[in-house]
């Protein structure tokens, strides 16, 4: 017999033996006492056989190595036959490997205690914290009006938190802010107004419309105050921006947030960075302005502060107050969240009690 035929016959015999072993019931699992051994043994036999025929030093490669000893005219036909044999061997090994894998999977399922028909465990799904939901809603509302999201560091220089905002070192409003000092010149920001200062410095002489959400810090810790809380501030600067633009923008926002029947009022106030300044109230969400416990019988709820950008602030950041005017406003996200959802106690927002959180 020619060497090619001899290897073909031997391969066929070896493969038939292994194929019938794989097909035999329980062959893969082996005896129950040494479960899994059968599968391992079969895989080992499979690999040995594959290397013997198809490995680099295997029988079929060996057939090609002797090609050089043949007469040149016999080589093409010989090469064709060896390649055919290799294709047949590869196809048979691939088919057998797939059968072994299938049998292994079937065995691992039947041999284990897994019952694929049992109902699964419910994985508890979380949800965003109500303050996060409110923050995202505020941001997306103002983005819809064309405001751009702007951010700045929570640890910042005194200049960005105070000086550029018309708050010199001995200014009484520094006490109002109860600042955490990192050192003489570095603070944990007491408001997100530092964002606007950075932005105005880097975007000179062009219209500005930004929303600045973020965490702020004050030395304050009681039933209604936390040393770390979240604020949102907005700044608009352009030619001919008026207090009327500020009121229009805030009305739109308040109606979006608290319902179309919401009305607003502005009370004169003072901030070093705005002039004129005002506190803004919305009509009480719970009693619709009739007076209740939440609004302390006034019909109004204070939600933040606002004003026209003080000309001194423009000067500090290198802008011409003769050319530009602007408005700014800010509110605490915790307060807006409590109002929107009727949460009576601020501590719910930080207690991490699942009975509270899963309502949102």
Site for ligand 2U9, rule CB under 6 A: 191, 193, 196-197, 200, 231, 233, 235, 271, 273-274, 304-307, 309, 313, 328-332
Q: What gap in Å lies between CA 226 and CA 349, rounded to an integer?
A: 11
* Complex with ligand 2U9: residue 46 or 258, whichever CB lies closer: 258
Q: Which of 102, 63, 107 is nearest to 85 (CA)?
A: 63
* Complex with ligand 2U9: residue 38 or 330, whichever CB lies closer: 330
Q: Closest separation between CB of residue 352 and ligand 2U9, Å?
A: 22
Which uninterrupted H or E stretch holds 274? strand 274-283
Give per-residue burial for 321-349: e unless 16+ CB within 10 Å, then b.
eeebbbbbbbbbbbbbbbbbbebeebebb
* Complex with ligand 2U9: residue 92 or 196, whichever CB lies closer: 196
Q: Closest separation between CB of residue 250 and ligand 2U9, Å?
A: 11
* Complex with ligand 2U9: residue 38 or 332, whichever CB lies closer: 332
* Complex with ligand 2U9: residue 196 or 325, whichever CB lies closer: 196
* Complex with ligand 2U9: residue 38 or 305, whichever CB lies closer: 305
Q: Closest separation between CB of residue 114 and ligand 2U9, Å?
A: 55
The tokens describing 287, both together, are 């009693």
* Complex with ligand 2U9: residue 49 or 150, whichever CB lies closer: 150
Q: What gap in Å lies between CA 285 and CA 289, rounded to an integer?
A: 7
Q: What gap in Å lies between CA 79 and CA 83, rounded to an integer?
A: 6
Q: Closest separation between CB of residue 207 and ligand 2U9, Å?
A: 14
* Complex with ligand 2U9: residue 99 or 203, whichever CB lies closer: 203
**Length of the chain as a residue count:** 360
Q: Measure Cα distances from 125 to 33, 99, 128, 360 in Å.
A: 43, 40, 10, 12
Which uninterrupted H or E stretch holds 237? strand 228-238
Q: Closest separation between CB of residue 335 and ligand 2U9, Å?
A: 7
Q: Closest separation between CB of residue 128 and ligand 2U9, Å?
A: 21
* Complex with ligand 2U9: residue 130 or 304, whichever CB lies closer: 304
Strands lying side by side in the sheet with 208-217: 148-149, 208-217, 228-238, 325-332, 300-309, 274-283, 264-271
Q: Closest separation between CB of residue 354 and ligand 2U9, Å?
A: 28
Q: What gap in Å lies between CA 251 and CA 4, rounded to an integer?
A: 91
Cis peptide before 215 (omega within 30 of 0): no
Q: Closest separation between CB of residue 289 and ligand 2U9, Å?
A: 22
* Complex with ligand 2U9: residue 213 or 304, whichever CB lies closer: 304
CB 305 within 8 A of CB 279: yes
User: Which DSSP category does 36 fall into?
Assistant: T
Which residue's entry shows tokens 């702007």?
150
Q: What gap in Å lies between CA 310 and CA 126, rounded to an integer?
A: 44
Helix (H, G, I), strand (E, B) or coil at 321: coil
Q: Closest separation between CB of residue 282 and ligand 2U9, Å?
A: 13
Which residue is at the shortest CB distance from ligand 2U9?
Answer: 305
Q: Which of 158, 170, 165 is nearest to 212 (CA)?
A: 165
Q: Closest separation between CB of residue 209 and ligand 2U9, Å?
A: 13
């Amino acid at each position: 017999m020619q060497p090619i035929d001899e290897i073909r016959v031997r391969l066929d015999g070896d493969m038939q033996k292994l194929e019938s072993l794989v097909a035999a019931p329980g062959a893969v699992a082996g005896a129950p006492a040494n479960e899994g051994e059968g599968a391992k043994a079969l895989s080992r036999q499979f690999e040995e056989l594959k290397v013997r025929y198809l490995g680099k030093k295997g029988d079929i490669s060996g057939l090609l190595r002797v090609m050089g000893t043949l007469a040149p005219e016999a080589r093409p036909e010989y090469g064709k036959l060896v390649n055919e044999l290799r294709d047949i061997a590869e196809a048979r090994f691939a088919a057998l490997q797939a059968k072994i894998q299938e049998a292994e999977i079937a065995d691992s399922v039947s041999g284990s205690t897994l019952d694929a028909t049992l109902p699964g465990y419910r994985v508890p799904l979380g949800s965003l914290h109500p303050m996060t939901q409110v923050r995202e809603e505020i941001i997306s509302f103002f983005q819809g009006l064309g405001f751009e999201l702007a951010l700045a560091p929570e640890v910042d220089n005194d200049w960005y938190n105070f000086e550029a905002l018309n708050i010199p070192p001995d200014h009484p409003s520094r006490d109002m802010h109860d600042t955490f000092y990192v050192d003489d010149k570095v603070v944990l920001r007491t408001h997100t107004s530092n964002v606007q200062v950075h932005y105005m410095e880097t975007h000179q002489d062009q219209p500005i419309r930004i929303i600045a959400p973020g965490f702020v810090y004050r030395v304050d810790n009681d039933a209604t105050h936390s040393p770390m809380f979240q604020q949102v501030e907005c700044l608009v600067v352009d030619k001919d921006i008026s207090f009327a633009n500020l009121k229009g923008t805030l009305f739109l926002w308040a109606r979006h947030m608290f319902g179309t029947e919401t009305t607003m009022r502005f009370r004169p106030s003072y901030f070093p960075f705005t002039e004129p300044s005002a506190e803004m109230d919305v009509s009480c969400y719970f009693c619709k302005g009739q007076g209740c416990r939440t609004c302390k019988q006034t019909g109004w709820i204070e939600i933040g502060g606002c004003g026209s950008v003080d000309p001194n602030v423009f000067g500090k950041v290198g802008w011409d107050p003769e050319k530009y005017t602007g408005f700014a406003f800010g509110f605490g996200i915790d307060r807006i969240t409590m109002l929107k959802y009727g949460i009576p106690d601020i501590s719910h927002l930080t207690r991490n009690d699942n009975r509270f959180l899963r309502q949102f």
